[in-house]
Structure 1
Amino acid sequence: MWIPLLAFLTAGIVSLQKCQRGPGPMLRAASVLAAVPGLCQRPENRCATSNALTCTVCLALGPECGWCSQEDFMSGATQKGRCDMIFNLIKKGCQSEFIENPTIRVTIPSDHKENTQVTPGEVSIQLRPGGKASFMLKVHPLEKYPVDLYYLVDVSASMHDNIEKLNSVGFDLSKKMANISVDFRLGFGSYVDKTASPYISIHPERIHNQCRDYNLDCMPPHGYIHVLSLTDNIAEFKNAVNKQKISGNIDTPEGGFDAMLQAAVCQSHIGWRKEAKRLLLVMTDQTSHLALDSKLAGIVIPNDGNCHLKDNVYIKATSMEHPSLGQLSEKLIDNNINVIFAVQGNQFHWYKDLLPLLPGTVARQIESQAANLNDLVVEAYQKLISEVKIQVDNQIQDLHFNVTAICPDGSRKTGMEGCKNVAYNEEVLFNVSVAMKGCGTTGGRKYVIIRPIGFNETTIINIYKNCACQCEDSARHKRICVDETFLDGESIHCEDTNCSSSEDTFPSERCKLHPDQPICSGQGDCIGGRCLCHKTKLGKVYGKYCEMDDFSCPYYHGNLCAGNGECEVGKCKCFHGWEGDRCQCSSLTAEHCINSKGQICSGRGACICGKCECTDPRSFGRFCEYCPTCNNACDENRSP
């Protein structure tokens, strides 16, 4: 039983090999296996079957497709077939120098910038539609990195004990950090909340001292004050902390995110160094207000993300909203700042839940009277520098990035997940893959930034999109980038990147439905004065100016334009007898809009789907019949 079956399968396998070479003597034997899905089936040649009529459209099909621009290619044939796979074009007689087939290339410029921790510092990639390129990025954390640590302290009354503890922090912390940093600097700033009701009391007796309930003399409330720029003078830091007074407010959340954003973007004020690891330590015992909370105080202008310090005081606290989490995350990453939330009390878990939304951030719990503050900073710093993860900034439409981290222990993670527990002498490799889906609306060179979170070095990726054919003039031959069977047999040639007809030069204006509309309605290419509509997976694009399609207009009961019209430039163009934005209403419903005098909507409106829509803003009523302030109101209501 098994021997005949084995012979049967062997014949099928041999025949499958023959399929790749062409018909053979055993092909009939393979037909017995035709019921097996996929067996002996040739892969579809999308280049040839697309019937692409231009070189540009051909190249957009995929990286395996090429275009033959040779003038006498397959002369005498009824179908030129200039778009095909490279192997087939050569087989059909196209000389290699006439084949348009942009290459996919990854190069590192010889004059690229030198980085210490992130290499390479610059990469150039040439891509074409459907193409994909990859390169390896290496991140090597330095040992004993310079460190800038800026204390951003909530100085509301409940933080009184923690602020007193700061007096002894500077010297002890400097000694601990000396073991892991060659150059350590400290800075200091304070925040409370927006100085508006209902966040603070605006009662005259409390406006300057919000702490009367605590029997304390408080400084006036403030959004954010930058107190001390980063310095290695520990005595100066201690002196600034000694002078710090507490303040107060009414509601529980504070304005921490407002202050954090300012501390991140006001680089010259804070004194952030380019070469240093930047740490922002946020000390608090309460949650922070988020974007849109400001509406309680009538503040509706979105945060613009810019620095607004005047004399070291944040001056936009009462006129701009709190930043959103996304905006705050973006500014922290852009400025290479890692955040340590040092939180006392029950709100620790609130900040811990935010960590996935704020990359490069850790949260630690402060013990009673901040006894563990120094150890907390050292532990958090060591955790931050042992994590290596990256993100892609300035992303470009039609490009897809896939980043895989190869960790020192051999495991693989996504780029945003990254690697943990990375030692100083270890390297993290990132496999960066770039795929180009299409050309979009713009071509040419663009750039993308690969940014390791918390590092002050980046990699710039220059992207060159090869979306058009060269069509360069040759001394001996003309190059053709439009199929000669196109446009009623008129011969279209491309010389010096310009396509023209042998009989006439067609202006692009002939490809516009109206002078103020885009060429080919933005859905096609103008070739020789006529529109060649794009092919799309969404549906069909057609019409003389590619102005029609079957997908971009509104549907009604599952039918485009209710089945009573055509989609033209994104709007339903109704057939005779139909109206409405979706052509869903019969024109016969206009009889429901006629008033007692036989007027449609009293002459003050339009009948849409059997209902009057008043065009005169002064009128109202079912038939727009009421208009007390109209000039002819008296005449209309005068008794005969």
Structure 2
Amino acid sequence: MAGTKQKERCDIVSYLIKRGCSADFIESPEVSVTVDSNEVNIQVTPGEVSIQLHPGSEASFMLKVRPLEKYPVDLYYLVDVSASMHKNIEKLNSIGFDLSRKMEDIAIDLRLGYGSYVDKTVSPYISIHPERIHNQCSDYNMDCMPPHGYIHVLSLTDKIAEFRSAINKQKISGNIDTPEGGFDAMLQAAVCQSHIGWRKEAKRLLLMMTDQTSHLALDSKLAGIVIPNDGNCHLKDNVYVKATSMEHPSLGQLSEKLIDNNINVIFAVQGSQFHWYKDLLPLLPGTVAKQIESQAPNLSDLVVEAYEKLLSEVKVQVEKAAQEVKVNVTAICPDGSRKTGLEGCKNVKGTAEVLFNISIALKGFGTTQGRKYVMLKPLGFNESTRVNIHTRCACQCEDSGKHKRICVNELSEEDAEMSNCKGKTFGFTKESPSDQCKMQADHLICNGQGDCVDGKCICHKTKLGIIYGKYCEKDDFSCSYYLGRLCADNGECEDGKCKCFGGWEGDRCQCSSSLQKHCMNSNGQICSGRGTCVCGRCKCTDPSNFGRLCEFCPSCRTTCSDKRHCVSCHHSNLSQITLDQCGSSCAYRVHNTEQPSECVSNDPSHFKTFFKNFVITFLIGLINILIIWRILLQWNNNKIKSSADYRVSATKKDKMFLPTVCTKTVTYRRDKPEEINIKQVQVNETFKCSS
């Protein structure tokens, strides 16, 4: 069909033959499904599937999920230790042995762990008054531990006595606002697997015990915290160190991390906030909510009931599906009913097998070329299924030299780039080692923000913005903003810092480089050579330096001492090297050093002269002080003698004073003024006190 466009040569086989296309030249790619023969999964089968697709085609296969009769169980208590929870914390002390006994019938090898949380330790979440910063309960005459974002107290252990000991030592804390930082702590408990001690083979349960709601993403902006949560582990000495610098996680991010780490959550809530958590369950797959009775008497029964409910529900989550790949999951439950994958089957008893019909369609040739893959993850199971998708989006080129020539010549330049025929494999090459996807040997693959495919990083998609770069090391959303614009629109966001374009500077690229002229002194030096210019202002390197241009330097040598070597620039017969040095370092000071004798020498004799002058000056001053002190002393003695002549005789003095005033108190009543007698006394009469 020479001369026709490529799209005109794509049609149903019978129509192509009618148009005159030879059957030898017609390609009709077949859809195939291949199951990996090296099966290692027990609960979720098959473990890996390869599918051959072309645009518009669809393939299906069956996924089987078979729960075990009993699982090892890891149960991690994440407890709100704000003051209102102290009664519930006391109840935890007795739950260990009781729970262990009740779980024997439905689980094996129970391990318990423990962590506590309050909230972010900044205002307005806690009181930052000096008297309350370390004890939020000081107003109630209680001794509280300092508030904290999250503390991992006890790793998972089968020794119940250790669990009880950790609970006994726990003190309550406090904060101000009603919501707590529960979701912040949940994400850390989920991703810090080595700290918590999560086992791969165990059912992982995270029990969050609280009586209040939790802060969500963007709430942190009230405290000026704007850096999005990166979803990584940030425990140092078992303390969450990013509580005051990183936002609370979003519900979507929290859900993703719980699913990735195979963790089921039990919300154990006391009070009216139970309904708030219950409404969140559709947004957090694999979670249940139970209400605690007063002072948690039903806590062990609550855990057993929640665990049995989680075991009886089998759901499948689809992850990492490319935009052009459509995945449809239908659950075929043991009772014969059909549900969607995320709705799943409920009330599954014992080891009953649940089937899922997986249908995968390729809608078109998308941005990711060659091999794609999809992860099918049953919630709460530590096994999953990987579906490798091989795409056929152009002609095969390996059949013969003639076909290869026609195939390549008739493709457009864009299609030719995508048609990378190598041997008998089209569209993809063997996966390169994952080391090619690391910026450095000790870094995460694709910086933990992408997947390594064919030795190249395919960055994750996020609603926050775009992640990009060879190693997914860049993004356009985690840097500082200026006037509502990221990096002031004058730079790129790279690794959390603004990388400014040419002509701009500053931590937010908000300043023009032309402002450096305001930092230049009369000698052409930037900040007198003692600092850096930031947005037209000098920032001195040494804190002891000061001045608008860092021109004042108490610890620096004098100008003459600093430029003494410039004197030699006036001598004749200088070498070319010396002339070059003079031109670079002494050009603007040569005219000031014509008389070397004017400069103060660093010779030690000058120090001796200075010391002698200092001693002489000190002695002269001391003599002057002694003379003045002697004069003042003599003047004071003369004054005392003259005052003696004006003394009054004792007899005269006695007559001038009245006798002692009576100490008896007299009160008058206003109701009988006629009884008041006031006796007039002459001046020369003496007062007599009546008994």
- TM-score after normalising by structure 1: 0.63
Of 46, 53, 66, the match for 2:5 = 53
Does residue 444 of the first structure (1) align with residue 370 of the second (2)? yes
Mapped pair 1:234 → 2:160:
yes
The equivalent of 2:489 in structure 1 is none
Deviations 1:107-151 (A, max 9, x none): 10223x421110000111111011011111010111111110000
Question: Is residue 102 of structure 2 the alignment partner of residue 176 of structure 1?
Answer: yes
What is the match of residue 416 of structure 1? 342
Question: 3-state SS of the aligned residue for 2:275?
Answer: helix
- In structure 1, the residue matched to 2:622 is none
State the alpha-carbon separation in 1 of the partners of residues 10 and 92 from structure 2.
Answer: 73
Indicate conservation of the 8 Å contact 1:134/1:432, yes or no: yes
Matched, 1:460 2:412: no
How far apart are the structure 2 equivalents of 1:130 and 1:83? 12
Match of 2:218 in 1: 292
3-state SS of 1:146 partner = strand
1:108 aligns with 2:35: yes
Which of 300, 314, 318 is the aligned partner of 1:392?
Answer: 318
Letter of the structure 1 residue corresponding to residue 338 of structure 2: R
Query: Which of 477, 480, 498 matches 2:408?
Result: 498
| 2:197 counterpart of 1:245 | no
- Looking at structure 1, the residues matched to 335 and 18 of structure 2 have their Cα atoms a distance apart, in angstroms, of 50
Kindly report which structure 2 residues correspond to 1:156-175, keeping only aligned pairs within 5 A, or say none.
156-175=82-101
Trace 1:492-571 onto structure 2 (pairs within 5 A).
493-494=405-406, 498-499=408-409, 508=413
Label 1:83 to 1:257 Cα distance change in 2 as closer, same or farther (>3 A): closer
1:479 is aligned to: 403
- Matched with 1:596 is none
In structure 2, what is the equivalent of residue 152 of structure 1? 78
Per the alignment, in what secondary structure is the counterpart of residue 36 of structure 2?
A: coil
The reply to whether residue 351 of structure 1 matches residue 351 of structure 2 is no
Question: SS of 1:206's equivalent?
Answer: coil
Q: Pick closer, same or farther for the CA change 1:414–1:243 going to 2, 3 Å.
A: same
Match for 2:12: what amino acid?
A: M
> 2:10 & 2:93 partners in 1: Cα distance?
76
Once residues 205 and 256 of structure 1 are traced to their aligned partners in structure 2, the CA distance between those partners, rounded to angstroms, is 26
C-alpha displacement at 1:215, in angstroms?
2.4
1:223 corresponds to which of 149, 155, 161: 149
Deviation at 1:409, TM superposition (A): 0.3
Q: Structure 1's 464 and 373: CA in aligned 2 closer, same or farther, altered over 3 A?
A: same
What is the deviation of 1:442?
3.1
Q: Quick check: 1:195 aligned with 2:147?
A: no
Which residue of 1 is the match for residue 61 of structure 2? 135
Superimposed CA distance per residue, residues 394-428 of structure 1 (whole angstroms, 9 cap, x where no aligned partner): 01121111111000000000001000000122111
The structure number with the bigger radius of gyration is 2
- Quickly say closer, same or farther: Cα 1:370–1:52, change in 2 above 3 A: farther
Question: For the Cα contact (< 8 Å) 1:118–1:137, is it kept in 2?
Answer: yes
Aligned length: 419
Rounded to whole Å, the distance in 1 between the matches of 2:372 and 2:214 is 38
Q: Residue 500 and residue 405 in structure 1: after superposition, are their counterparts in 2 closer, same or farther (change >3 A)?
A: closer
The answer to whether the Cα contact below 8 Å between 2:59 and 2:360 also exists between their aligned partners in 1 is yes
Q: CA deviation at 1:435?
A: 1.1
Q: 1:349 to 1:84 in 2, by over 3 A?
A: closer
Tell me the residue number matched to 1:280: 206
Residue by residue, what CA displacement relative to the aligned partner does 1:477-533 show, whole Å, maximum 9, x if unpaired? x228xxxxxxxxxxxx42xx53269xxxx9x5xxxxxxxxxx69x9x99xxxxxxxx
Q: Which runs of 5+ in 2 are unaligned?
A: 420-513, 515-691
For 1:84 and 1:360, how far apart are their aligned partners in 2?
A: 45
1-structure distance, mates of 2:260, 2:344: 18
The residue identity in structure 1 corresponding to 2:408 is: N
Counterpart position of 2:652: none
Structure 1 pair 52–125 and aligned structure 2 pair: CA distance change class (3 A): farther
Q: Tell me, in whole angstroms, the C-alpha distance in 2 between the residues paired with 1:346 and 1:297.
A: 27
**How far has the Cα of 1:99 moved from its partner?**
2.0
Residue of structure 2 aligned with 1:208, choices 122, 126, 134: 134
Q: CA deviation at 1:97?
A: 4.3
Q: Residue 368 of structure 1: SS of its match in structure 2?
A: coil
Cα distance in 2, alignment partners of residues 283 and 52 from structure 1:
69
Q: Give the Cα separation in 2 of the matches to 1:295 and 1:120.
A: 46
Distance in 2 between residues matched to 1:365 and 1:468, nearest whole Å: 58
Q: Tell me, in whole angstroms, the C-alpha distance in 2 between the residues paired with 1:409 and 1:84.
A: 43
Q: TM-score, normalised by structure 2?
A: 0.58
CA apart distance, 1:300? 0.7
Partner residue in 2 for 1:564: none
Q: Which residue does 2:496 correspond to in 1?
A: none
Does the 8 Å CA contact 2:36/2:46 hold for their aligned counterparts? no
Would you say 1:260 and 2:186 are equivalent positions? yes
Counterpart-to-counterpart distance in 2, 1:193 and 1:296: 13
Q: Which amino acid in structure 2 is aligned with residue 107 of structure 1? A: T
Q: State whether residues 151 and 239 of structure 2, in contact with CA within 8 Å, keep that contact through their aligned partners in structure 1.
A: yes
Q: Which amino acid aligns with 2:55?
A: P
**1:93 Cα deviation from its structure 2 partner:** 6.9
Tell me how far apart the structure 2 counterparts of residues 323 and 500 of structure 1 sit (CA, whole Å).
51
- The answer to whether the 8 A contact 2:60-2:358 is kept is yes
Task: Supply the distance in 2 between the matched residues of 1:86 and 1:249 (Cα, whole angstroms).
Answer: 72
RMSD of the TM alignment (CA)?
2.4
Work out whether residues 36 and 47 of structure 2, in 8 Å CA contact, stay in contact via their aligned partners in 1.
no
Q: SS state of the match for residue 282, structure 1?
A: strand
Name the CA distance, whole Å, in 1 between partners of 2:102 and 2:399.
70
CA pair 393-83 structure 1, distance change in 2 beyond 3 A: closer
What's 1:427 paired with?
353
Letter of the aligned partner of 1:86 in structure 2?
A: V
Counterpart of 2:357 in 1: which secondary structure? strand
The change in CA–CA distance for 1:294 and 1:156 in structure 2 (over 3 A counts) is same
Tell me if 1:338 matches 2:264. yes
- Offset at residue 276 of structure 1 (A): 0.5
CA apart distance, 1:441: 2.7
The residue number in structure 2 matching 1:406 is: 332
Give secondary structure in 1 for the equivalent of 2:382. coil
**Structure 1 counterpart SS, 2:403:** coil
Contact (CA 8 Å) 2:131, 2:138: kept in 1 or not? no
Comparing 212-221 with 390-399, greater Cα deviation is found at 212-221
1:99 to 2, 20, 26: 26
Instruction: Name the CA distance, whole Å, in 1 between partners of 2:382 and 2:244.
Output: 33
Paired-residue identity, % = 76
What is the alpha-carbon distance in structure 2 between the residues aligned to residue 444 and residue 110 of structure 1?
A: 23
Judge conservation of contact 1:52–1:83 (CA < 8 Å) in 2: no
| Equivalent residue, structure 1, for 2:601 | none
Aligned to 2:503: none
| Structure 2 counterpart of 1:260, one-letter code | M
For 2:75, the aligned partner's letter is L
Distance 1:159 1:294 in 2: 24
Match of 1:469 among 388, 395, 417: 395
Q: Residue 413 and residue 219 in structure 1: after superposition, are their counterparts in 2 closer, same or farther (change >3 A)?
A: same
SS of the residue aligned with 1:395? Answer: coil
Taking the aligned partners of 1:346 and 1:441, their CA distance within structure 2 comes to 49
More helix per residue: 2
SS at match of 1:182: strand
1:498 counterpart SS class? helix
The residue aligned with 1:581 is: none
